[in-house]
Structure 1
């Protein structure tokens, strides 16, 4: 028993040490070698990272090369991916690693190769001449010596139709977007868009979007109002001047037998009133979408009320007609002096 406990403790300690060593590696890397004191001395990094502790973000280069041959047998020739990598390795300064290239072939004997290369960040960045780098890389891929490395013993009729490449600044961490912005890659270069809820030019997004609750479109006092954050969590309202964050939305609910309609048109209102910030279409409501609303009776309820009113009128008319007829009859009997049936007649004072 004690032997089993000892084995379990040893395994737990080793597992803990392994996890501790792995935690020393950054960006999801795992420890490959460690010192006797448990310090990790070398990490196996995930794709896109390098360094002893995987703390360096590699520069990402995406490219596409299109080859064409007049020989119909071209589509049967295997592509030498290893040779392709070697050409990239020899032509890119600071080359670090590359993922497997991919290929596609169509019936016109056009051969397309897409690839991704990781390299160490150029030491002169951001003054690095990307255009010259891309041009030199594409020229290397077009050379006959490169083609021979890609398509062994089959080069006489192969030509390069196009070759494009681009440094992905976003994936490489080579952008200057604001912390409240998102980077998107373009060819060439990149762009920045402020995240939802912030206003700016992408490189500077200092202003958060808020809407004052009192500026929301008009709503009926007979309705109940519910305010929710963008994730659906309810908002606790203290006063009408509370500032609501971006994407906060408002829902109104009319009493039973009433429906919510557009305040101006009377059409059924189904859209949710939402805080989206100032723009050309929301100037009138200072950041809120939607229109003012009111609670109108439903058609069914209105018909029921009308039918009830009509029924009441009919009852009153029938009862009134009966009373008039009975009164006239009584008057006539009095005029005829017929008193034999006085006990059956109520004599109203005249």
Structure 2
């Protein structure tokens, strides 16, 4: 009977444990089922200012909408860019006829697009009598193009197209309403990546070419740019009565400055108390800053500034003058007392000798006349 009861009790405990396990498992499943799915983070892989056209389910950009001057799936290709102006002159009685900028745009596109891929043309016009059409043309650079002279034949083709009577009729409504004046186009070598400027230089577009200018902190012709360095041993010499500080471009003072210092390093001279720092050449109390890479250059080095000195402060000069004058007065007074003392002593000595001689003379007289 006891065995039966124990068995029944254990069987009940086992059943209860299974029920608890089932409930906990169902709870876990229900929790997972009702959780909110996460939205994948979108990855915009567009370059050069492009916007993503659409993303896939994983959030990756598959195609981009490029800004003017760029092409490719992700706007990774730089197009050749030409900018310029076309000039027209309207007849006075036709000044109120609007200029069809869309016609100019299409005419130029028809000239460029057959031989150039990814062509884009933009035109904006201004003026009533003297009409100026500002033109921007972008396309894939032909492999045969080497420099700005490669664009000359294209400019000639566009000019020939714009001056045709049929073209003027499309632009101004009537070929007799205006005349074509001229066109100038310039290749934008910098934005079109036609330049060979150093990575540490700026490309500046100029008519019929470009210039390379080294960035601040570098020197060279723009194609080759070398970081400016300065040797501490060639800095303007430390003047007498002064101490020196060497400070980096970010304001850190160097306890043990190296021999080779980078661009922007400044050397400061601090004169002792009652001395003023001055330019040894101009005597100015506001001397040129001694800086690595500054100007004007010092003695053919990369340091700027001139040799400096520590001049005596005006208050110290006055103090020295007063001290010297006071000393002279004291010396003169003491000298006067000393001279007076010496004169008195000499007179007293003379008087003593005279009296002594007189006494001797009296004694001699008494000896000879008893």
TM-score scaled to structure 1, two decimals?
Answer: 0.73
CA spacing shift, 1:274–1:331, aligned 2, 3 Å: same
Residue 290 (1) aligns with residue 301 (2) = no
Could you tell me which residue of structure 1 aligns to residue 126 of structure 2?
103
- Can you give the 5+ residue segments of structure 2 that lack an aligned partner in the other structure? 1-35, 348-370
Residue 80 (1) aligns with residue 97 (2) = no
CA spacing shift, 1:260–1:145, aligned 2, 3 Å: farther
Residue 236 (1) aligns with residue 254 (2) = yes
- Contact 1:59 1:118 survives alignment (8 Å): yes
Out of 119, 122, 141, the residue aligned to residue 139 of structure 2 is 119
Could you tell me which residue of structure 2 aligns to residue 131 of structure 1?
152
Q: 2: CA distance between counterparts of 1:113 and 1:72?
A: 20
Structure 1 residue 235: deviation in Å? 5.1
CA spacing shift, 1:274–1:144, aligned 2, 3 Å: farther
CA spacing shift, 1:83–1:216, aligned 2, 3 Å: same
CA spacing shift, 1:71–1:102, aligned 2, 3 Å: closer
- DSSP 3-state at the match of 2:190: helix
Could you tell me which residue of structure 1 aligns to residue 229 of structure 2?
210
Q: 2: CA distance between counterparts of 1:121 and 1:311?
A: 89
Higher helix share: 2
Residue 245 (1) aligns with residue 266 (2) = no
The C-alpha deviation readout for 1:87-138, integer Å capped at 9, x for no partner, is 2222213353344525356xxx322222222222324343883221222223
CA spacing shift, 1:43–1:60, aligned 2, 3 Å: same
Residue 144 (1) aligns with residue 162 (2) = no
- Can you give the 5+ residue segments of structure 1 that lack an aligned partner in the other structure? 1-8, 333-350
- Contact 1:21 1:31 survives alignment (8 Å): no
Q: Which has the larger radius of gyration?
A: 2
Residue 56 (1) aligns with residue 77 (2) = yes
Q: Which moved more, 1:308-317 or 1:294-303?
A: 308-317
Could you tell me which residue of structure 2 aligns to residue 29 of structure 1?
50
- DSSP 3-state at the match of 1:115: strand
- Contact 1:28 1:46 survives alignment (8 Å): yes
Out of 180, 205, 209, the residue aligned to residue 185 of structure 1 is 205
Could you tell me which residue of structure 2 aligns to residue 342 of structure 1?
none
Could you tell me which residue of structure 1 aligns to residue 179 of structure 2?
159
Residue 227 (1) aligns with residue 227 (2) = no
Q: Over aligned residues, Cα RMSD in angstroms? A: 3.7
CA spacing shift, 1:59–1:308, aligned 2, 3 Å: same
- Contact 2:99 2:125 survives alignment (8 Å): no
- Contact 1:68 1:110 survives alignment (8 Å): yes
- Contact 2:195 2:210 survives alignment (8 Å): yes
The C-alpha deviation readout for 1:304-325, integer Å capped at 9, x for no partner, is 4323433454466567768988
- DSSP 3-state at the match of 1:164: strand
- Contact 1:215 1:285 survives alignment (8 Å): no
TM-score scaled to structure 2, two decimals?
Answer: 0.70
Could you tell me which residue of structure 2 aligns to residue 39 of structure 1?
60
Q: 1: CA distance between counterparts of 2:165 and 2:85?
A: 17
- Contact 2:94 2:177 survives alignment (8 Å): no
